[in-house]
């Protein structure tokens, strides 16, 4: 049982690390901010491109990286691709960080996190 919990814990850490890595570049973090500001409708690629002034091929690369890590979702609308932030994945990421910093180690008081978000 302990080995199974450890394996699951290691998988979760690896998943969170991959998610953080995917958002670890300025363009991808800007894309996430933009998609969160457009939540829940999301944006089509041309809207993202216009707002962030990123070349199409570069934008496609960044969006693909975010999609692979399940941070964004994409759906086809006629000839357009609409991207939305995967808020469930972001919630999972925040819960992981919150559990480590605010419950187990008490490195940050939970009230400070809530205050930052308001």
Domains (range + CATH), the chain: 2-86 (1.10.10.10)
pTM score of the predicted model = 0.82
pLDDT tens digits for range 23-74: 999 999 999 999 999 999 999 999 999 999 999 999 999 999 999 999 999 9
How much is the pLDDT for 98? 80
CB atoms within 10 A of CB 71: 23
| Cα gap 43→59, rounded to integer Å | 13
How much is the pLDDT for 6? 82
How much is the pLDDT for 102? 66
Per-residue pLDDT for 118 more than 80? no
Per-residue pLDDT for 112 more than 60? yes
Residues 6+ apart with CB under 8 A from 38: 47, 84
CB atoms within 10 A of CB 27: 15
For the CA atoms of the chain, what is the radius of gyration? 17
How much is the pLDDT for 8? 80
CA 117 to chain centre: 17
CB atoms within 10 A of CB 57: 7
| Cα gap 48→55, rounded to integer Å | 10
How much is the pLDDT for 100? 66
């Amino acid at each position: 049982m302990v080995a199974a919990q450890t394996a699951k814990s290691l998988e979760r850490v690896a998943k969170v690390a991959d998610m953080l890595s995917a958002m670890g570049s300025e363009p991808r973090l800007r894309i996430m901010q933009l998609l969160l500001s457009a939540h829940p409708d999301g944006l089509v690629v041309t809207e993202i491109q216009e707002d962030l002034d990123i070349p199409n091929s570069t934008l496609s690369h960044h969006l693909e990286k975010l999609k692979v890590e399940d941070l964004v979702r994409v759906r086809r609308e006629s000839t357009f691709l609409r991207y939305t932030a995967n808020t469930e994945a972001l919630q999972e990421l925040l819960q992981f960080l919150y559990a480590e910093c605010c419950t187990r180690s008490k490195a940050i008081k939970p009230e400070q996190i809530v205050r930052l978000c308001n």
